[in-house]
Amino acid sequence: MNAVLQFLASYSNIIDLCLLNSLIGYALFLSLSANMFSLATGGFMALGAYCSVYMTMELGLPFSIATVAGAALAGVSAALIGAPVLRLRGDYFMLATFAFTEVVRVIALNWDSVTGGALGIVNIPRDTQTWHLALVLIAAIYLVHTLRGSYFGRAIAAIKQDEVVAGTMAIDVFKYRLLLFVANGFACGAAGAFAAHLNYFIGPGDFGLLRSVDALSYPILGGLNALFGPIVGAVFTTVLPEVLRFSNQLREILMGGLVVAIVLYLPGGALSVLDFKIGRPRNGKAVAETLRAKP
């Protein structure tokens, strides 16, 4: 028992990060399930982070309200940018969402009075508790699981595979995409608020392109057809750099190599290994198609 507590104490940081990244993984799982390769994650997280920090530190509001407000702000901005941008096809959508993340970063860099500019904001209260993250993550899993089992899930799967067919089945493709994108923004905003209150510090560099690309990799590495894919991908990419700490220089290279290996040999994501065991057909092809498909 003592050993377990000790373990938890020394690794609590990593556990928090795993939970946080898993949450981000589910946010991206939602958008990817309708073929939306969003690079807006960094932008949404920055909105959630700065908004919530402003509310807790400047306005003295409780952390819970600040988190919900940060998430809501990100959700609303997802609706605002989603309405025009979701009409764009594949790569253009990706570029537009990347532009959004950049715009938010540049604003954060220059709006000194609110964001602290390039220096960022320090001494943020460490309000995020592990159980907060766990609770929100469980809620996200429940949401995804229930959606997948419903006719909404069937409609989303149809949009992913053939949106023309989805349209002729009376499915409002645009409405579904917008809803998923708003849900994605809301969850990323919440994750941003949690991240800000976990690290004592936030700066404009925390929420850039790298963050957005990492976020995309969680559900893709874990498996887009598996409910627990985002967790597996997020934990993998969070823990691996720690495990590889013994070789500081090789770390990044090994990490990259492993990611390439997974994409090459398990195109359905890490969890497609399970499909072998249970004897179901491999779904690797489906994901490869997703990567190629244009929304």
Task: Please report, as ranges, the residues that interact with another protein according to CB under 8 A.
Answer: 143, 146-147, 150-152, 154-155, 157-158, 161-162, 164-173, 281, 283, 285-286
The residues, ordered by sequence, that sit 6+ positions from 169 with a Cβ below 8 Å of its Cβ are 155, 158
Number of C-beta neighbours around residue 263 at 10 A: 16
Cβ burial of 49 (10 Å; 0-12, 13-18, 19+) is: buried
Runs of H (alpha helix) within 86-208: 90-110, 112-115, 130-148, 151-161, 163-168, 173-196
Between 4 and 170, whose beta carbon lies closer to another protein?
A: 170
d(CA 178, CA 247): 44
User: What's the min distance (Å) between Cβ of 162 and another protein?
Assistant: 6
Between 227 and 255, whose beta carbon lies closer to another protein?
A: 227
d(CA 233, CA 264): 15
Q: How many residues does the chain have?
A: 295
User: What's the min distance (Å) between Cβ of 147 and another protein?
Assistant: 7
User: What's the min distance (Å) between Cβ of 295 and another protein?
Assistant: 15
Between 104 and 173, whose beta carbon lies closer to another protein?
A: 173
User: What's the min distance (Å) between Cβ of 182 and another protein?
Assistant: 12
Between 154 and 251, whose beta carbon lies closer to another protein?
A: 154
User: What's the min distance (Å) between Cβ of 227 and another protein?
Assistant: 16
**Rg from Cα positions in the chain:** 19
Q: Which amino acid is at 160?
A: K
In whole angstroms, what separates CA 194 from the centre of its chain?
A: 13
d(CA 30, CA 190): 15
Between 81 and 171, whose beta carbon lies closer to another protein?
A: 171
User: What's the min distance (Å) between Cβ of 239 and another protein?
Assistant: 31
Gap between the terminal Cα atoms of the chain: 51
Q: Which amino acid is at 122?
A: V
Between 39 and 158, whose beta carbon lies closer to another protein?
A: 158
Between 151 and 246, whose beta carbon lies closer to another protein?
A: 151
User: What's the min distance (Å) between Cβ of 92 and another protein?
Assistant: 20
d(CA 11, CA 165): 48
